[in-house]
A and B are shown apart, each in its own frame.
Chain A
Amino acid sequence: MAERFEIRFSGAGGQGLITAGIILAEAASIVEGKNAVQSQSYGPEARGGASKSEVIISDGPIDYPKATIVDACLAMTQEAADKYASGIKDTGVLLLDSEFVKREPQGNYKIYKFPIMRTAKEEVGREIVANVVALGAMVALTDAVSREAGEKAVLSRVPPAFIELNKKAYNLGFEKVKALMD
């Protein structure tokens, strides 16, 4: 783990990206015992608009709690990509939902994409778990936490009836990105 690893989840308000950030921070700080800070910014609206959630992970203390230069960014919508896919380092990565982000942001970082919402809807069965598909994908892409720690954090947050659904969503996201990386 680098001194400071910064991850940004962005999308439309209501897509669960803040929850995805919280789960990643729990995986890092509660499951793996590293330091993590999760923060978010959102407007006054409850749904819609662009929303972002940032997670900083470090082995040492985390002073400044917001992103400085982003290691990995997720953008689920065009508006989020336009607004938040910036400040990504040259060696960083950007994950996009290929169906919703048609104009790709320009940068020296590496771009990965697959239809995240469609994967959730058609392959997992529920659009609502798109954030967990995205989380699995971001864990695969970054190694910010181990695959197991991420899954444990996801499952500790969901009611028993939804464990299988979320497990499937997380692992499908993870596998999809691993296939893209090969």
Chain B
Amino acid sequence: MAKKTALVQGNEACAHGAVYAGCKFFAGYPITPSTEVAEVLAAELPKVGGSFIQMEDEIGAMAAILGGSLTGAKALTATSGPGVSLKQELIGYACIAEIPCVIVNVMRGGPSTGMPTGPGQSDVMQARWGTHGDHAAIAVAPESIQEIFTETVRAFNLAEKYRMPVQILFDEIVGHMRERIEYPEPGELEVIDRAKPDVSPEDYKPYDSSKGDIPPLASFGSEYRFHVTGLNKAADGFPTTKPDLVDAEERRQIRKVEANRKDIEKNEEYMTEDAEVLIFAFGSTSRSARYAVNELRKEGIKAGLFRPITLWPFPEERIAALGKQVKGMVVAEMNLGQMIYEVERVTKGSCKLEGAFRVDGEPITPAQIMEKVKEVN
């Protein structure tokens, strides 16, 4: 049977992807350009036995999804940069208390209110280091309507599997544009549910890592009772200041991502095999970059595209290798230079490096990228 297809916005695809992944709880506060995610879920979640709540603000919404997730529900909030700024304290709480949740950031310009209806990609470092303290981060950056659906499903899988917050970053362009989507059939995409404790309620410790770096999470309100805090804590969930315990816990929480990079990282490479010059681009900008690669190839310039689908963790190994292969790299991003620092850190000066940046609310054009490519070729 032919698959169900429709012409939908990226924001709509994100909402449908969340339902497919088994999301049962959304809390949010409307903000352009992300509002359609909330609109669709307000209609769809009640149909699948889920709940939707519009909170008093973005902080309340983040707190609500942490509470919802602790009861066992897959939980989502959607916002834009200004909203993510407000959520930072509780994102840190989700990191240390290891509460699975998904945060959608449909990026616009900034700082502050910026340009609500214009696109931006200036929240990528915020997604890595927005909340204080050492912590691991996972963020995905889809470039198309179909990929927003599949990456939303994967974001839930990663959040549940690694017991941590995962951010989905796309921008106003893909959030609002419409393309055909083919809805995957149930069972076609992998859907991961969080591991449940296999010990009795009396023996349960919420941060017991004796069987692995990701301890199973019991549901609040079930027979399992446990303590949740933002303080450094011991295996039983209660606060501790014992240096060895604090150190071990901090390291474990970072290791659960670092040791599983192969499972988490996802990239696309286009014409990189023989590339002499590489464009690093993500989200909607990678579409301009692919167009640029095709045009440059017609002119005889051996250009290639590296597109990180997971921005965090950063694809260090592959970028280091590509840095040794090519003469130059161009990092194209709708900000004034953020991911370029990661590329620079990893390539260690092994190739020329230029940025194609833009922050005026207009997309980076293929022509702008092509010009920069010619500078480093």
CA distance A43 to B170 in the complex (A): 20
Tell me the complex Cα distance, A65–B365, Å: 10
Q: Does B248 contact A (CB under 8 A)?
A: no
Chain B, residues 93-135, CB within 8 Å of chain A (1/0): the string is 0000000000000000000000011000000000000000000
A63 touches B179 (CB 8 A): no
In B239-287, the 8 Å CB interface with A consists of: 284, 287
Chain A residue contacts of B173, Cβ below 8 A = 39, 65-66
- The answer to whether B7 and A68 have CB atoms under 8 Å apart is no
Q: How far is the CA of A105 from the CA of B176 in the complex (A)?
A: 29
Say whether A38 faces chain B, with CB atoms less than 8 Å apart.
yes
- Indicate whether B86 reaches chain A with its CB closer than 8 angstroms: no
Q: Would B284 and A65 count as touching, CB distance under 8 A?
A: yes
Chain B interface residue count, Cβ-Cβ cutoff 8 angstroms: 21
Measured between beta carbons, the chain A residues less than 8 angstroms from B117 are 41-44
Contacts of B290 in A (CB 8 A): 63
Per-residue CB contact flags for chain A residues 47-90 toward chain B (1 = under 8 Å, else 0) read 00000000000000011111010000000000000000000000
Residue contact A36 to B7, C-beta cutoff 8 Å? yes
Q: Given A64-B288, A64-B365, does the pair A30, B176 have CB atoms closer than 8 Å?
A: no
**Are A63 and B363 in touch, CB under 8 angstroms?**
no
Q: Are A64 and B287 in contact (CB under 8 A)?
A: yes
* B220 interfacial by beta-carbon distance below 8 Å: no
- List residues 14-46 of chain A with CB under 8 A from any CB of chain B: 22, 25-26, 29-30, 35-44
User: Which residue of the partner chain, among A29, A35, A43, A64, contacts B291 with CB atoms under 8 Å?
Assistant: A64
Complex contact B116–A37 (CB within 8 A) = no
Task: State which of A37, A41, A42, A63 has its C-beta within 8 Å of the C-beta of B178.
Answer: A37
- What class of interface size applies to chain A in its complex with B? 20 to 34
Q: Which residues of B contact A26 (CB under 8 A)?
A: 7
> Complex formed: what's the CA distance from A36 to B179 in Å?
6
Scan residues 90-147 of chain A and give those whose CB is less than 8 A from a CB of chain B. none
Asked if B5 and A25 sit within 8 Å, CB to CB, the answer is no
Q: Decide: B180 and A30 in contact? CB cutoff 8 A.
A: yes
Interface 1/0 per residue, B177-204 and A, CB below 8 Å: 1111000000000000000000000000
- Residue B366 interfacial (CB < 8 Å): yes
B232 within 8 A of A: no
- Chain A's nearest CB lies how many Å from the CB of B187? 24
Any A CB within 8 A of the CB of B6: yes
Are B176 and A40 touching (Cβ within 8 A)?
yes
In the assembled complex, how far is the CB of residue B307 from the closest CB belonging to chain A, in whole angstroms? 11
> Closest residue of chain A to B284, judged by CB?
A65
Task: Give Cα A25 to B145, complex, Å.
Answer: 14
Complex: how many Å from CA A36 to CA B8?
11
B54 interfacial contact with A, CB 8 Å: no
B294 on the A face (CB < 8 A): yes
A-B pairs, top 6 by smallest CB distance, nearest first, are A63-B291, A39-B177, A64-B291, A38-B178, A29-B180, A63-B290
Q: Can you list 17 A-B pairs, Cβ within 8 angstroms, ordered by A? A: A22-B7, A25-B178, A26-B7, A29-B179, A30-B180, A35-B179, A36-B179, A39-B177, A40-B176, A44-B117, A62-B179, A63-B288, A63-B291, A64-B363, A64-B365, A65-B363, A68-B365
